[in-house]
Amino acid sequence: MFGLLFLATLAVAQNPASTETGTPSQTVTPSQTEVKVRPSAGHDVGSGAGDIGKGAAKGVGSAAKGTGKAAVDLVTLHPVNAATDLGKGAVHTGKNVGVGAVKGTGKIARGTGKALKHLF
């Protein structure tokens, strides 16, 4: 009885691919898996400075757009629309500058932390 059980186990162990459809299985090696590369400290600081610059540029664009629309509305005698356009431009300017500053400052802080980590 024990010998028969042993032979059955041995037969199954030697032929594990009998249940497959005939296609060879692919093994994944560590080099094939996606390895997430984290940016360096310098990249984080540079990217953060870029985000601050982009936010400031978008803010200037929003201010110019709002001011231009307000000027046109004043010339065409629509003072209420002029005030609305000027206010919208100011709000969008603040939003764009604020978002850029927050994103950029966060990236700069992360990059500075990485640099300090490597120093100490």
Let me know: does 107 contact 44? Beta carbons within 8 Å: yes
Mean pLDDT (the chain, rounded): 81
pLDDT of residue 118: 83
Question: Is 4's pLDDT higher than 50?
Answer: no
Tens digit of each residue's pLDDT (9 = 90 or more) over 46-83: 999 999 999 999 999 999 999 999 999 999 999 999 99
Two structure tokens written together for 92: 């969008």
Average pLDDT estimate for 92-99: 95
The pTM for the full model equals: 0.64
Let me know: does 74 contact 4? Beta carbons within 8 Å: no
> How confident is residue 28, by pLDDT bands cut at 50, 70 and 90?
low
Question: Is 6's pLDDT higher than 50?
Answer: no
Look at 61 and 9; give whichever has higher pLDDT.
Answer: 61
Let me know: does 96 contact 62? Beta carbons within 8 Å: yes
